[in-house]
Structure 1
Amino acid sequence: MNILDPVELLDHLPPFDRLPAGLLARASAALDLVYAPRGQVLAEAGTRAEGLWIIAKGVVRECREAEGDVLYGPGEAVGAQGLLQGIHPRALEVHEELIAHLLPAHVFHALGAQHPAFLNFYREDLETKRRARAEARERGALTMLLHTRLGDMPLNPLARLRTPVRLHQAARALHADGARALLVEDEALGFGMLTQSDVVGALAETGELAAELPARRPLVAMDEDADLFDALRMMLRHNISQLVVWRVDGSAGLVRQKDILSLVASHAPLLDREIERATSLEELGGVGGHLVELVRGLHGRGVRARHISAWVSELNARLYAKAWTLVAPAALVEDSTLFLMGSEGRGEQLLRTDQDNGLLLSVEADETGAAEAGARLSEALEMLGLPRCPGGIMVSNPIWRLTPEGMVRAIGQCVDHPDGDALLRLAMLADARAVAGREDLLRVLRDELRDQLAAHPTVLARMARQILAFDTPLGVFSGFVLEKGGHKGELDLKKGGLFPLMHGVRVYALEAGVDETNTFERIERLRELGRFDADFARDLSGAYDFLLSLRLGAMLEQNGAGEAPTDSHIDPQRLNHFDRDLLRDALRTVERFKRLVHHHFKLQLLS
Structure 2
Amino acid sequence: MNLLDPSVLSTIPPFDRLPQDLRARAAAALDIVYAPRGERLAEVGEQATGLWIIVKGVVREHLDGEGDVLHGPGEAVGASGLLAGTQPGLLVVEEELIAHWLPAHVFHALGEQYPAFLNFYREDLETKRRARAKAHAQGELTLLLHTRLSELALQPLPRLQAPVTLREAARALHTAGAKALLVEDEVAGFGLLTQSDVVAALAQADDPGALLEARRPLVALAASDDLFAALQRMLRHHISQLVVWRADGSAGLVRQKDILSLVASHAPLLDREIERASCIDDLQGVGEHLVELVRGLHGRGVRARHISAWVSELNAKLYAKVWGLVAPQGLRDTSCLFLMGSEGRGEQLLRTDQDNGLLLAAGVDEDMAGEAAERLVEALERLGLPRCPGGIMASNPLWRRPVDGLTDMIRQAVAKPEGEALLRLAMLADARAVAGRGELVQAMRAELHAQLAAHPTVLARMAAQVLAFETPLGVFSGFVLEKGEHRGELDLKKGGLFPIMHGVRVYALEVGIDETNTFERIERLRELGRFEPAFARDLAGAYDFLQSLRLAAMLEDVSAGRPATDSHIAPQRLDHFERDLLRDALRTVERFKRLVHHHFKLHLLS
TM-score > 0.5, shorter chain as reference: yes
For residues 574-593 of structure 1, the C-alpha deviation after alignment (integer angstroms, 9 at most, x for no partner) is: 01111112212222222222
Residues 159-205 of structure 1, C-alpha deviations (whole Å, 9 max, x = no match): 55555555565445444433323334445434333333334444555
Is 1:120 the counterpart of 2:118? The answer is: yes
1:474 deviation in Å? 1.7
Hey, what's the Cα distance between the residues in 2 that align with 1:306 and 1:335? 34
Quote how far apart the aligned CAs of 1:216 are. 2.3
Identity rate, percent: 70
User: 1:275-290 to 2 correspondence within 5 Å?
Assistant: 275-290=274-289
One-letter amino acid matched to 1:534? P
Give matches, 1:504-519, under 5 Å.
504-519=503-518
Amino acid aligned to 1:289 = E
Structure 2: which 5+ residue stretches go unaligned? 1-12, 32-52, 59-73, 83-97
Distance 1:406 1:201, change over 3 A: same
Does the 8 Å contact 1:362/1:403 carry over to 2?
Answer: yes
- CA distance in structure 2 between the partners assigned to 1:468 and 1:361 by the alignment: 36
* Contact persistence 1:262–1:268 (CA under 8 A): no
Conservation of the 8 A alpha-carbon contact between 1:80 and 1:122: no
Structure 1 counterpart of 2:35: none
Match of 1:499 in 2: 498
2:90 is aligned to none
Change (3 A) 1:247 1:538: closer
Residue 145 (structure 1) shift: 3.5
TM-score where L is the length of structure 1: 0.79
Letter of the 2:119 partner, please give it: F
**Contact kept in structure 2, 1:180 and 1:196, CA below 8 Å:** yes
Query: Per the alignment, do residues 432 and 232 of structure 1 end up closer, same or farther by CA in structure 2, a change over 3 Å counting?
Result: same
Relative to structure 1, the CA distance from residue 118 to residue 573 in structure 2 (aligned partners, 3 Å threshold; closer, same or farther) is closer
**Secondary structure at the residue paired with 1:556?**
helix
Which residues of structure 1 form unaligned runs of 5+? 1-12, 18-26, 33-41, 51-61, 68-78, 92-105
Distance 2:177 2:28 in 1: 71
> Do the aligned partners of residues 338 and 479 (structure 1) sit closer, same or farther apart at CA in structure 2, a change above 3 Å counting?
same
Q: Deviations over 1:196-233 (max 9, x none)?
A: 33344445556776655433222222333332222222
Alignment of 1:281-430 (within 5 A): 281-430=280-429
Provide closer, same or farther for how the CA distance between residues 245 and 124 of structure 1 changes in structure 2, counting only shifts above 3 A: closer
Deviation digits for residues 239-286 of structure 1 (CA, Å, limit 9, x no counterpart): 101112234555432211132334446332222222222222222232
CA distance in 2, matches of 1:485, 1:524: 39
What is the identity, as a one-letter code, of the residue corresponding to 1:118? A
CA pair 531-185 structure 1, distance change in 2 beyond 3 A: closer
Contact 2:183 2:190 in 1 (8 A): yes
Distance 1:529 1:215, change over 3 A: closer
Aligned residue in 1 for 2:462? 463
**Hey, what does 2:46 align to over in structure 1?**
none
How far the C-alpha of 1:108 sits from its partner, in A, is 10
Give the length in aligned residue pairs: 535
Write the letter of the residue equivalent to 1:318.
Answer: K
Structure 1 stretch 481-490 or stretch 518-527: which is displaced more? 518-527
Q: 1:435 aligns to what SS in structure 2?
A: strand
Query: What amino acid is the match of 2:586?
Result: L
Task: Tell me: CA distance 1:136–1:204, structure 2 relative to 1, closer, same or farther (3 Å).
Answer: same
Match of 1:422, SS?
helix
Which region of structure 1 is more displaced relative to structure 2, 181-190 or 522-531? 181-190
Partner of 1:552: 551
Structure 2 matches for 1:75-86, cutoff 5 A?
none
Shift of 1:113: 2.5
Give the alignment's TM-score, normalised by structure 2: 0.79
SS of aligned partner of 2:218: coil
Change (3 A) 1:203 1:46: closer
Name the CA distance, whole Å, in 1 between partners of 2:566 and 2:29: 46
Mapped partners of 1:453, 1:226: distance in 2: 35
Please tell me whether the aligned partners of residues 14 and 133 of structure 1 are also in contact (alpha carbons under 8 angstroms): no
Distance 2:537 2:153 in 1: 34
- 1:152 corresponds to which letter in structure 2? E
**Distance verdict in 2 for CA 1:189–1:599, change over 3 Å:** closer
* Residue matched to 2:68: none
